[in-house]
Structure 1
């Protein structure tokens, strides 16, 4: 017997989707129609309010190809419990989950004209069972329904009856299909597929720092981004004051992830690289690996601290302040006590320098009071600005320019030796000294590591502004000094640190997360490990994991949970033409294609692609161009993913790095960028670690 149209669950769910979209549209129109012409005191407040309204309008955008809701929760109805329902049985009030209630789970909250929720934000407490409920612990959920979409159209649904003992637990087909959906363009959110172990990290409290060790395809980047979205939901007022920041390894990576947070309705999160954070000078030079290792060592912080405070000199003569017919004299021993007290307090060099004239002025005021005068704060301010006091401060505690200080350390062997004694060896000092004379800090060819040193010196002089929360991705490649630079941005906040020790490809790559957290200033941070792989096919991750004993023997290999094993082929070739042919074969599949090669081989492959008439992009251009093939230098592959990858000449990738271990780690990264299939082409023998 056929099911009446009115009883068809899919029809009812489509109806709820249509009404929810209409409600979201009405919410947006309500904000757009707000008249703020007479509600602000001045034009500044009007500008701020207008910007807030504009951001709210953008956050309420209905993305046609993005499902408005992706799941539903029906809670257990206990005997005697009442249930308040709206049309078609949807939940009609805003309380937490209770007897017999129903919630549609989506990317943002949507309510009708009466204020009743039609879609509940995935970050709300009531949504948590959608990610964590199971047969073993149903969390009072009787039914969990997942929805399948084609484009923006609801086309399927799938039910789990968590309280039915006769129904065996099974892998969700819709969930599996969403995980394995082809990757085209920038990174997508994973809000519909968050797994229980991921959800625990996403919803961890704001007060603590979390470090996530995750192999390729475990979703650590997505977890970090969704954690930001969750924290902004749970602590919006606090984070609106203090700010949030996502730090990625390079611009290509940031372009790749930049649409995830806006898709979740979050538009205010800043994204940057570590180089952006420390951009006090223009970086035009590079370091040899040995020099970069020393400059990135945490011991450089001690050298810089010594060099900064070496500018303080004990007073050699008293300060005499003339006011009217009276002369007030602050003796040398009293000045020394003031200077020592400021040094012992351990405050920033600049803050101490600002405090010094007021301390001297206070000593003068004490003498005035003893002589019977009654000076007030205005007198103290005037004394602090007295020429004799200013001259003494300039001589005792002169201003320090961070860039000039670092330049002197790198060009003056005696100055460096004086402050690096017992910290850096003579050979290490020689390694970082510049061999060519430099006229000024402006004309210097600063390296990226030098900029980090200047940032450290800047913080010694003046405190760096702290944010409420920082997400640091691909953290395994940071030097200790770079960790310190990031840590300065969240001294009063918390951090989410994401990375994979096996993918560390810098000479100073992180050896342990506890060591990294110490450099970050977050020794109380908790380390979590993700080992379930959702992105990389089983055959591909198993092949790449052959490298783990050689690059990170202590790590647990990723276990792929994908049902589709993916395609995997190792193909000997004779030259670039065969590599291009492999790319053309991959283009016959749906989704994005990445041709990954050693950096030195990229120009030749680009030329071969052009000769064959095959259009291609550079990493980061996927958001603005239509071509599906991206030519990726191995050095930029980290963090990116493509449906199909053609990996050119693994041995060339290994040989392109300064040492074999770093080369094998780079190879591990490039082998694990594929979502659906990997073709390895090679003209030279494969590295023995793979065979």
Structure 2
């Protein structure tokens, strides 16, 4: 039975409860430690000592007894802490935040209070000293919200501790944020495990925190062992960034890894595929190709298999059709398991043949006729039909043979041109074969096809899932026992070869017999409102139709757009000044820099002996961190300096999404340093982004173009325009145009006019900026 709330309780009253609850908790901790010394023998003592060392039910001795009290309509109150506390009669004094019923109570809001009347949050300091408490009475809050101009922005008042947490500085590791789980997130955290739960969340909505707290809640409520839960991130940097969260929540033995290190492979990636090959290797069509190629390695024979029999003057034979019939029984099994079963079945068939032949000839043979076969002959026969393969040998041989690729692609809807993307020379020695990052995923798939799936996890949590290829998603799905998964990400931040606009194909790959549920985190807590407003200008192009989170906080000052005039101090010097300004104030700084600017920016930092860390290589420091836009995905910093946003947009496809990611990495301060006149139009610049020139395939042989002979009536030998011919009209840049040239120009303009207007109309540019675009096009043409 929960205690009865005392709404008149003073700070001293609450302190007495906190002291009592902590005393009970620490007494229980001490009793567990004493049990070790009281053990009867060394074995029992070692077992108890191990249990005491791994015990996490009492939390940390430094934890306050509680951080929240929930009062309900039926007159009960529930103190909530990082760990539960029970007194000598097993009556709960404090409930763990992980308890599903507590999660349901915490989901109460002023618009849907349920049984909750009041939330009381505590501010404490070490050890267990209560400094103050703050009450939120949901009925009173509902009245205040109704009087606001923008009621949505009052949602944060439902959780007073969230306000305090948002004012704290970020750090290289995510810190404990149990107290910051807002009501709208609590229902997701406490949801049932047996489902595929997809959580869409924009920048700063707390999706990673929700995913990790959900993992901790599942361990507590579903009786899942820690080694039966897998957490997968996009890269090693992100994994290190979140690594401290689960241990701080009391869950120290959960496997946390990234999508590459998760794979069951023994090689590392040293090669790089071109984008077309990399995308094909990530395509789900590779499943059919790899499966067919593996089946093709089981051969059919043209002649019978013949075996000698010990002590007998005769041989036994098995016809090719009989061998094929035996092999066909096991082709559907994992390749190596099927090979073992084929060998056993072939041995049994041969033993029967030996016995029959002996009976026909009147020869006496031992009961186990299989012992009369020569093992080497048997093994050679098995190898002829069903060769032994490793995943590396199979993939090397497949990609090294166009004939094998063509045969494997039968029925896989892969064109001949695409097969050429997979084709590469096979290394003479398997140890010398180089592999790409995409190959590792295929090797993992082939390893499962050869040896069978590894033991699965009861629940899998996947963060930043929006960029994963179908083959990567399949590799994760294979590690789930029954498809129970929590998948989080942001479609607006989906970039790379598998950038997508919906979660549909992700769900299709991960779907199982379990229910599928897609939820969206509506409120943003970490990215300031003014920063999100700036970044949201990109969404009509970056992710049309996607919901923008309602941001419930802001900071001063807002985003700083810092133009660097041509001929002034270098862009890198301005970046260095901005970075050191934030670092000198103790802020966790992210310097988001496109690859084309990285060398000059890093050189400027090094010239002044400014220490920085390379976040792209997995190194994060509490001071200055240089990171690419794609490497910044999932990270958060107190202050972010974005370098040359137009260069980020121009660097490749989905450039607006990459810039959206870069701008939304901050929780407080944002500086955008750009060359004057080169700010993207969507951010308020005056010039439309210029696409980088498309790569031109080399053409051989190279033929010098034929130049037209000038008309002497139009152009004099010194190329000056001299003709007074009335059929010649003046053109742009002082050119004189003949009537024929003018007609040709009119025809070209007619061809360009309609598609140009269509592009401009769909570009979200104000009409007054259209002439600027056309001037840019003319300028480009003059340069050509």
- TM-score bucket (shorter structure): 0.7 to 0.9
Counterpart Cα distance in 1 of 2:419 and 2:618: 44
1:284 to 2:283 alignment: no
CA contact (8 A) 1:21 1:62 kept: no
C-alpha displacement at 1:109, in angstroms? Answer: 1.6
**Matching residue within 127, 136, 149 for 2:102:** 127
Counterpart Cα distance in 2 of 1:369 and 1:308: 34
> Could you list the runs of 5+ residues in structure 1 that have no partner in the other structure?
1-6, 78-99, 372-377
C-alpha displacement at 1:245, in angstroms? Answer: 1.1
Deviations 1:401-420 (A, max 9, x none): 11111112222222222222
C-alpha displacement at 1:112, in angstroms? Answer: 3.8
Q: Which has the higher contact order (CA 8 A, sep 6+)?
A: 1
Quick one: structure 1 residues 349 and 28, their matched pair in 2 at CA, closer, same or farther if it must change by over 3 Å? Answer: same
Deviations 1:20-72 (A, max 9, x none): 33433333333333438977997xx9977754442226x645264x6552101
1:665 to 2:657 alignment: yes
Counterpart Cα distance in 2 of 1:624 and 1:680: 21
**Matching residue within 666, 673, 690 for 1:674:** 666
- For residue 535 of structure 1, give the secondary structure of its aligned residue in structure 2: coil
- For residue 634 of structure 1, give the secondary structure of its aligned residue in structure 2: coil
- For residue 204 of structure 1, give the secondary structure of its aligned residue in structure 2: coil
Calculate the aligned-residue CA RMSD, in Å. 3.5
1:402 to 2:391 alignment: yes
5 Å matches for 1:234-273? 234-236=221-223, 238-240=224-226, 243-273=228-258
Aligned equivalent of 2:732: none
C-alpha displacement at 1:256, in angstroms? Answer: 0.9
**Matching residue within 62, 72, 75 for 1:75:** 72
Counterpart Cα distance in 2 of 1:557 and 1:644: 22
Quick one: structure 1 residues 433 and 386, their matched pair in 2 at CA, closer, same or farther if it must change by over 3 Å? Answer: closer
Counterpart Cα distance in 2 of 1:244 and 1:454: 23
1:309 to 2:295 alignment: yes
Counterpart Cα distance in 1 of 2:119 and 2:522: 25
C-alpha displacement at 1:257, in angstroms? Answer: 0.6
1:608 to 2:589 alignment: no
> Could you list the runs of 5+ residues in structure 2 that have no partner in the other structure?
1-7, 146-153, 360-366, 685-784
C-alpha displacement at 1:76, in angstroms? Answer: 3.1
Deviations 1:444-476 (A, max 9, x none): 221101111111111111122211111111111
CA contact (8 A) 2:642 2:662 kept: yes
1:464 to 2:453 alignment: yes
Counterpart Cα distance in 1 of 2:373 and 2:458: 36
- For residue 216 of structure 1, give the secondary structure of its aligned residue in structure 2: coil
Counterpart Cα distance in 2 of 1:272 and 1:526: 25
C-alpha displacement at 1:487, in angstroms? Answer: 1.3
Deviations 1:235-289 (A, max 9, x none): 22x445x611111111111111111111110011111111112233121111111
CA contact (8 A) 1:384 1:390 kept: no
Larger radius of gyration: 2
Quick one: structure 1 residues 622 and 317, their matched pair in 2 at CA, closer, same or farther if it must change by over 3 Å? Answer: closer
Quick one: structure 1 residues 467 and 178, their matched pair in 2 at CA, closer, same or farther if it must change by over 3 Å? Answer: same
Counterpart Cα distance in 2 of 1:51 and 1:381: 51
**Matching residue within 532, 545, 548 for 2:536:** 545
Counterpart Cα distance in 2 of 1:46 and 1:301: 52
**Matching residue within 576, 592, 595 for 1:596:** 592
Quick one: structure 1 residues 239 and 362, their matched pair in 2 at CA, closer, same or farther if it must change by over 3 Å? Answer: farther
Aligned equivalent of 1:87: none
5 Å matches for 1:364-375? none
CA contact (8 A) 1:479 1:510 kept: no
Aligned equivalent of 1:350: 336
5 Å matches for 1:430-449? 430-434=420-424, 438-449=427-438
Q: How many residues align?
A: 646
CA contact (8 A) 1:537 1:565 kept: no
Mean Cα deviation higher: 13-22 or 524-533:
13-22
Quick one: structure 1 residues 585 and 388, their matched pair in 2 at CA, closer, same or farther if it must change by over 3 Å? Answer: closer
TM-score, length basis structure 2: 0.75
TM-score, length basis structure 1: 0.84
CA contact (8 A) 1:130 1:144 kept: no
5 Å matches for 1:198-209? 198-209=185-196
Aligned equivalent of 2:646: 651
Aligned equivalent of 2:476: 486
1:216 to 2:216 alignment: no
CA contact (8 A) 2:36 2:49 kept: no
CA contact (8 A) 2:103 2:189 kept: no
Aligned equivalent of 1:634: 629
CA contact (8 A) 2:616 2:631 kept: no
C-alpha displacement at 1:331, in angstroms? Answer: 5.5
CA contact (8 A) 1:477 1:505 kept: yes
Counterpart Cα distance in 2 of 1:60 and 1:605: 49
Counterpart Cα distance in 1 of 2:254 and 2:563: 46
Aligned equivalent of 2:683: 690
**Matching residue within 321, 324, 328 for 1:340:** 328
